[in-house]
Structure 1
Amino acid sequence: MNTPKLKNRWLIAASAVGIHISIGSVYAYSVMTNPVKEIFDVEGSVIKWAFKIAILLLGLSAALLGRWVEKVGPKISGTTAGILYGIGILGSGLAVEIESLTLFYLFYGVIGGIGLGIGYITPVSTLVKWFPDKRGLATGMAIMGFGFAALIFGPAMAKLFEIVGVSNAFYILGVIYMILILTSSRYIERPPEGYLPAGFKEGEGKIIEEDISNITANEALKSTRFYYIWIMMFINIACGIAIISAASPMMQEKLNYSPMEAAAIVGFIGVFNGLGRIIWSSLSDYLGRANTFIIFFAFQILAFYFLPKIGVESIFLIVLFTVITMYGGGFATLPAFLGDLFGTKQLGAIHGMVLAAWALAGVIGPTVYDMVKEQTGSLDTTLVIFAGLFIIALIVSIMMKISITKYKGLKVQKLSAVA
């Protein structure tokens, strides 16, 4: 009986990038806001609701469908994501053509949003299983694709709107996304049971550190470590999204930038968001996941406190861009961290449940920023409040580190007692 040929794990990673770079085009939404609002003859804020619904559905569908994704496997869930996201974009073109705002919300926000959520978690748990030795690097590559997608599809979108019109641009993009996701999903699959990369098999010398536990999603929900990481992600996302959404007016206020100059810097935010995903997640393979998050929060306490007080342009931008790398880095380091904490048994489901923090933080972060800024009129006060939130995140991350150390110690004691 012939043993099926083992797939190339780096091509599996490339397939994961293919899925994430397609669904990550949602981050280029601002490019379509003006052309679409002119067709519907409404304010930009009305059109932005489709994006808000999509991100909300991303978080909710990832949380609710994570178990299903784990059950059916990446090929089926990836195919489903490709069909849903493709239909969402194609349907948006139809909604624009017949000028139905309700249909636009339905296709882009609801159907596209569910495709986003399924597509986001589909490749991640698979990659963690293929790369037990380089979890951070592998998940960082895929999620970097999500962060960089706007740089690729943003200009392409703008050009298509100009050349073929808005509705036709949606049709073309919908077909491109669907083909890219469906093609990538055909190659991606789980590794065989007990898979270890070359050099790590018994007798070959290299050893992979055992996960802290290997438990189900229901069991993870009973663990304090699940709630620690949920709080850590919620604060990192809420504060990061707030600073991203306010970056342009903040630079105009603090550095006296013109709107055009500020807009150019906002473009660089996308670059550092993407770079942070691969750099920090790769570093976490060496620094340790818990230590990486402790670095994130310790730095951002100081960054958010001092940022409004910095008048030197170069230092202001260095601090701002570093914060953005940590925002992106949190997303990319998360799946590897969850694998370390809870194993790979139901990693997709657990990852989905933690991503509910994204749905909530995406609404709460910018809202808190706007409310405090409006009531106090002070950027300093607003960012000091976020610095305070990072103090909470730092304390929780240290508690996580202590919890992991204690758990590992107990494990060693139990093994010694058995021996």
Structure 2
Amino acid sequence: MRPPVAPPGWSRWLVPPAALSVHLSIGQAYAWSVFKPPLESALDLSGTQSALPFQLGIVMLGLSAAFGGTLVERNGPRWAMSVALVCFTSGFLLAALGAETRQYWLIVFGYGFVGGIGLGIGYISPVSTLIKWFPDRPGMATGIAIMGFGGGALIASPWSARMLETFGADSSGIALVFLVHGLSYAVFMALGVVLVRVPGPSTGPGAGAEGTAETPGGPGVPAASGTGPQVSARQAVRTPQFWCLWVVLCMNVTAGIGILEKAAPMITDFFADTSTPVSASAAAGFVALLSAANMAGRIGWSSASDLVGRKNVYRLYLGAGALMYLLIALFGDASKPLFVVCALVLLSFYGGGFATVPAYLKDLFGTYQVGAIHGRLLTAWSLAGVLGPLIVNWVADRQEEAGKHGPGLYGVSLSIMIGLLVVGFVANELIRPVHPRHHVRASKEPADDATASPAR
């Protein structure tokens, strides 16, 4: 499929909304917890079993992004968004059939496997295009889109809960909710498919409001995209910079997703023995606040990285993140405001890490195959999506068996998270500009600039 090329006068500001329509849809994944209690009751599942669709979805997100990244680069954003639309919405339809027939394996396969492929392809579909349209502000551009993934749960969570109240929380009601989700997201994601364009010979990342460039680039490649290092996806994975950044992302996501997955029971446990325990409704409100911080961090911190540099903002994510965990471990049970503020900061760093990493990749490897490189990097998310919840839940279970309760359930896991963030901090410090021997040849891409500014 030939990527749709923007005509003269096309506004580059139409591309972020196209990306946002996809990311707001696939961001529903963060609202899976809404379905856990009714599924457990309707199909007689354990908590571990009801988490399988979400866990498989995150694993497939990383794997499909890694293996499909090159295809996304080759076929363009419209093809990728179309594939994401088909897979993600088909996953809901298969899950609806599974719920109606009480075949839980079909829910796992549909939502987790098929829908997870849609998650991965949809997640990376706009990244390369946004960076080519906004080489002057890549952090802000990718932050706008990826913000949607963090904020999708703010829409999906109350919407799903309301539908479950209306349709019922039995298997038939759950099936109907899945069906409505699938059809609704198909329409919403189609807006992105229709709107998205790549820069053409007479369009590009110019300074004007409409994004018209005075200097033409090649089809789908703005003139500015040839500056700086240009590295292929195959070469990128052979560089130490890629693997250092892989560790950075994995550690940051592991620390963030651990507290996100356990947020409601964690704040309840921390203040269970105090004179003002946390109610179930207050815990739910806390989860909503975390989602908002996750969303705000994606646009706020990624935009800040355009000003202070990618390396510096990751120093903040990892260094200040470790400090936040330390404050929770030492003083979290003494002050609810302190606990809440530290958690909100941590989740803003978690979201910011996702939104900033595409621009970090652009700084290191250029725009040549940044979407494919981003896809390979997201395998770090696959591991972290399993590792973070596993650490927090497994440690809490062991501490409970040992007779501990309240904050004592989380002391060890909080210490582990601090250690992981320190590892990520060190990995970030080891990142240096990519050696020119890894750059693509001039015959494939405009001349490389071996003296490109390093990631700050």
Decide: shared fold, TM above 0.5: yes
User: Which residue of structure 2 lines up, in the alignment, with residue 395 of structure 1?
Assistant: 426
2:298 to 259, 271, 277: 277
Secondary structure at the counterpart of residue 24 of structure 2: helix
Distance 2:358 2:86 in 1: 24
CA displacement 1:171-209 (0-9 Å, x = unmatched)? 221111111112211221221258332369679xxx979
Distance 1:7 1:220 in 2: 32
Whether 2:178 is the aligned partner of 1:175: answer: no
2:23 to 10, 20, 25: 20
1:341 to 339, 346, 364: 364
Whether 2:151 is the aligned partner of 1:152: answer: no
* Code of the aligned partner of 2:411: D
Cα pair distance change 1:201/1:166, threshold 3 Å: closer
Cα pair distance change 1:158/1:247, threshold 3 Å: closer
Distance 2:113 2:34 in 1: 20
1:135-284 matched pairs, under 5 angstroms: 135-164=138-167, 165-192=173-200, 195-198=204-207, 212-256=228-272, 257-260=277-280, 261-284=282-305
User: Which residue of structure 2 lines up, in the alignment, with residue 51 of structure 1?
Assistant: 54
Q: Say if 1:16 and 1:123, in contact at 8 Å, map to a contact too.
A: yes
Q: Say if 1:128 and 1:135, in contact at 8 Å, map to a contact too.
A: yes
Cα pair distance change 1:163/1:285, threshold 3 Å: same
Q: Say if 1:211 and 1:341, in contact at 8 Å, map to a contact too.
A: no
Q: Say if 1:305 and 1:380, in contact at 8 Å, map to a contact too.
A: no
* Code of the aligned partner of 2:344: F
Q: Which deviates more, 91-100 or 272-281?
A: 91-100
CA displacement 1:16-60 (0-9 Å, x = unmatched)? 000000111111111122223333232343222111111111111
Q: Name stretches of at least 5 consecutive residues in structure 2 with no aligned partner.
A: 1-5, 168-172, 216-222, 437-447
* Code of the aligned partner of 2:416: I
Q: Say if 1:211 and 1:340, in contact at 8 Å, map to a contact too.
A: no
* Code of the aligned partner of 1:167: A
User: Which residue of structure 2 lines up, in the alignment, with residue 304 of structure 1?
Assistant: 325
Secondary structure at the counterpart of residue 319 of structure 1: helix
User: Which residue of structure 1 lines up, in the alignment, with residue 380 of structure 2?
Assistant: 357
Distance 1:217 1:137 in 2: 23
Distance 1:117 1:309 in 2: 38
Cα pair distance change 1:157/1:70, threshold 3 Å: same
* Code of the aligned partner of 2:187: I
* Code of the aligned partner of 2:320: F
* Code of the aligned partner of 1:285: D
Secondary structure at the counterpart of residue 222 of structure 1: coil
Q: Say if 1:82 and 1:178, in contact at 8 Å, map to a contact too.
A: yes
Distance 1:27 1:216 in 2: 32
What count of residue pairs does the alignment treat as equivalent? 405
CA displacement 1:138-185 (0-9 Å, x = unmatched)? 111111111111111211112222324322222221111111112211
Distance 1:319 1:92 in 2: 37
CA displacement 1:236-271 (0-9 Å, x = unmatched)? 001111122233333223334334132321221111
Cα pair distance change 1:223/1:279, threshold 3 Å: same
Cα pair distance change 1:137/1:300, threshold 3 Å: same
1:34-183 matched pairs, under 5 angstroms: 34-164=37-167, 165-183=173-191
User: Which residue of structure 2 lines up, in the alignment, with residue 32 of structure 1?
Assistant: 35
Secondary structure at the counterpart of residue 81 of structure 1: helix
Q: Say if 1:248 and 1:259, in contact at 8 Å, map to a contact too.
A: no
Distance 1:150 1:323 in 2: 18
Q: Name stretches of at least 5 consecutive residues in structure 1 with no aligned partner.
A: none
| Percent of aligned pairs sharing the same letter | 36
* Code of the aligned partner of 1:288: G
User: Which residue of structure 1 lines up, in the alignment, with residue 341 of structure 2?
Assistant: 318
Q: Say if 2:228 and 2:449, in contact at 8 Å, map to a contact too.
A: no
Q: Say if 2:236 and 2:365, in contact at 8 Å, map to a contact too.
A: yes
Deviation, structure 1 residue 385: 2.2
Distance 1:208 1:79 in 2: 28
Cα pair distance change 1:414/1:122, threshold 3 Å: closer
* Code of the aligned partner of 1:303: M
Q: Hey, which of these two has a bigger chunk of helix by percent?
A: 1
1:288-299 matched pairs, under 5 angstroms: 288-299=309-320
Distance 1:394 1:414 in 2: 25
Distance 1:364 1:380 in 2: 17
Cα pair distance change 1:156/1:217, threshold 3 Å: same
Distance 2:91 2:255 in 1: 29
Distance 1:23 1:63 in 2: 17
1:380-391 matched pairs, under 5 angstroms: 380-391=411-422
User: Which residue of structure 1 lines up, in the alignment, with residue 220 of structure 2?
Assistant: none
* Code of the aligned partner of 1:281: S
Distance 1:414 1:130 in 2: 23
Q: TM-score, normalised by structure 2?
A: 0.83
Cα pair distance change 1:159/1:370, threshold 3 Å: closer
